[in-house]
Amino acid sequence: MLPPRTKALRSPALLLALAAACTAKDGPAPSPDIPATQDIQTTDLALDLAALSGTATVVVRPAAGAVTLDVAGLTVTRVTVDGEDAALDIVDGTLSVPADADTVSVAVDYTFPARGPAMFDGWMPALGVSFVWPYACSNLFPCNPSLEDGLVFTMSVSGVDEGLTAIYPSSTHGDGPTYMAAVAVGDYTRLDLGSTSAGTALYAWYLPGTNAAARAARGTAHLVAAFDYFEQTYGAYNFGPEAGTIEVDWGSDSWGGMEHHPYFHVGTFDFDDEEAQVHEAGHGWFGDGVRLACWEDFVLSEGTTTYIAARALEQVDGPSEWAYYVDDFLVPICEGTQPNDPTLVNTIVLPDTCNEIDFENDAVWSLTTYMKGACFYEDVGDLIGPDELDLVIAEFYAAHVGTAARMEDMITLLKARAPSHADAIDALVSDWLLSYACPEDYVERCRSHTP
């Protein structure tokens, strides 16, 4: 996801105002009654957008003799286990189904609500887009919103008005977070961007508008090359043989993007912005490819992705983003020059807890995490060399792709691969991730780097 922002800044992002509307339930730990030992392997979603109904077929390893799913935003009409009808046992929005086998197939028939444009927590027919990040999946399908439980999605969508196109993945191929699956519906034109050297085909889907084709071409000018850089430098793409960017109209706040791989969403106002496009592509490696173990590890997703997006663009002769990151975001954050902007509030970006913060209302979800995280990596690159840093990021990705990890795991690996710089890396961790104040020389340190 691209960082929350104010419209006065060019950076892509969704506004923090969305955060207050996104949650499907109160508190920092959604669905606490779902056992951690339960493992959802695949979820097949058959959605009828006209009827606002769906069938979710979930292949799952039960825990303690039952399958437990969050259905808080749904009206469940029927449940079967391996084809046999099961009783509807729903308490406080949690569905529990007895299941004794090692692996079972649970099919849930249900209806889901049409959400208004201001809600951003399910299917929004007025905008033609779904949005369930960070843990509002139960407004669209039965799920476990826990970050730990990754899964493969397969999807089919019906009930689309004539003349419109629904864009969604028939399969996500690899394990990803619950919020990754999405659908967008509109009057789309597809632009074939080409393929990477690994054979991944890239596409862009754009909506009608003034200079729409030119804007799409401008925003994706280096997308194939950057995607290729990610594949060649950090490892194979985990979500299938093709990927692409979809223009979505989020209304008056249509900035930013969302990492719905393999077809990530980018808002209309930022669809011609290369950084927005490459940032969302980068989430195929961090945020989706490697999931977060805890919301406190948000910097592992957003700091890493902000860094590798800038790194890739620079290496493929795209625009340099570092002066922009520092001048437009880091300076107001560190100097406190925009105190009324909640997206630019300084904070410690790596809290020492796990899933104890109220993420949607915590300053960790702000531009600060993106910028301080990116500057941490930039400083590490200056210390050990950016090529060596690329190798460590690639090793981390190979070890954790398809699973959840912590930022501390990345820090540990960095020190292990550069033992002579371990103390200096600890100092950078303290400077950028564990301190409220920014380093005194933060402008020079983050703007000036080894390309």
Question: Which domain CATH number covers 427?
Answer: 1.10.390.10
Q: Which tokens is 101 given?
A: 């086998």
127 with 261, same domain: the answer is: yes
Question: Consecutive sets of 10 residues in the chain, 451 residues long: mean pLDDT of each?
Answer: 42 35 40 85 98 98 96 97 94 95 97 92 96 94 95 98 97 97 97 98 97 98 98 98 97 90 97 97 98 97 98 97 95 90 91 94 94 98 97 98 98 98 98 96 88 72
271 with 371, same domain: the answer is: no
288 with 321, same domain: the answer is: no
Q: Is residue 300 part of a domain?
A: yes
**pLDDT reported for residue 16:** 34
283 with 367, same domain: the answer is: no
**pLDDT reported for residue 73:** 95
45 with 177, same domain: the answer is: yes
Last residue of a domain, one of 252, 272, 292: 292
Q: Is residue 214 part of a domain?
A: yes
Q: Is residue 14 part of a domain?
A: no
330 with 400, same domain: the answer is: yes
75 with 135, same domain: the answer is: yes
Residues in the chain: 451
**pLDDT reported for residue 342:** 81
415 with 330, same domain: the answer is: yes
Q: Which tokens is 61 given?
A: 């390893």
Percent helix, percent strand, percent coil in the chain, to nearest 5 = 35, 25, 40
349 with 413, same domain: the answer is: yes
Q: How many domains does the chain have?
A: 2
User: In degrees, to the nearest 5, what angle opens at C-alpha 289 toward C-alphas 283 and 291?
Assistant: 95
**pLDDT reported for residue 340:** 79
Q: Is 423 helix (H, G, I), strand (E, B) or coil?
A: helix
**pLDDT reported for residue 253:** 80
Last residue of a domain, one of 264, 292, 320: 292
Last residue of a domain, one of 292, 317, 338: 292
**pLDDT reported for residue 33:** 81
**Residue 192 CB coordination number (10 Å):** 10
Q: Which domain CATH number covers 91?
A: 2.60.40.1730
Q: Is residue 8 part of a domain?
A: no
Q: Are 289 and 262 in contact (CB under 8 A)?
A: no
Q: Is residue 409 part of a domain?
A: yes
Kindly report the backbone phi and psi dihedral angles of residue 278, in degrees, each rounded to the nearest multiple of 5, phi listed first.
Answer: -70, -35
**pLDDT reported for residue 119:** 84
**pLDDT reported for residue 346:** 94
306 with 214, same domain: the answer is: no
**Which domain covers residue 62, as residue numbers?**
38-292
348 with 316, same domain: the answer is: yes
Indicate the pTM of the whole model: 0.94
**pLDDT reported for residue 30:** 54
Question: Hey, which residues does 248 pair with through a beta bridge?
Answer: 267
Instruction: Name 134's Cβ contacts closer than 8 Å, sequence gap at least 6.
Output: 22, 145, 179, 295, 359, 360
**Distance between CA atoms of 383 and 365, rounded to whole angstroms?**
28
**Distance between CA atoms of 22 and 360, rounded to whole angstroms?**
8
Q: Is residue 26 part of a domain?
A: no
Q: Is residue 21 part of a domain?
A: no
**Distance between CA atoms of 35 and 68, rounded to whole angstroms?**
8
Q: Is residue 15 part of a domain?
A: no
**Residue 239 CB coordination number (10 Å):** 24
